[in-house]
Amino acid sequence: MIRESTAKEERTNSQISSQQDEEKNTLFTNFKQQMLKAWLPVPTLTKTITLFYIMSAIFLGVGIPMLILTNNIV
């Protein structure tokens, strides 16, 4: 009988500890403890070239008008 009661106690203790583990691993707790998973971008060749062309267009779109405007100053 003693062995049966200890087995029951172990089950209830493990259930309580698993419930506490679930409570500890909530999103808010992970946020507070700074344990959130990080986003890791995968820089493939296609994405890199596309981003390069997009950024080039943006900088040229801003840079050329600035160059023209500054050349017109005295």
Q: Structure tokens of 44?
A: 């493939």
Whether the CB-CB separation of 36 and 30 falls below 8 Å is answered with yes
pLDDT at 57: 98
Q: Name residues whose C-beta falls within 8 Å of residue 2's C-beta, 6 or more positions apart in sequence.
A: none
pLDDT at 64: 96
Task: Tell me the three state secondary structure of residue 38.
Answer: coil
The pLDDT score that the predictor gives to residue 14 is 66
pTM as predicted: 0.47
Whether 71 has a pLDDT exceeding 60, the answer reads yes
Q: What is the pLDDT of residues 5-63, one digit of tens each?
A: 565 656 666 666 666 666 656 778 877 777 778 888 899 999 999 999 999 999 999 99
d(CA 62, CA 11): 68
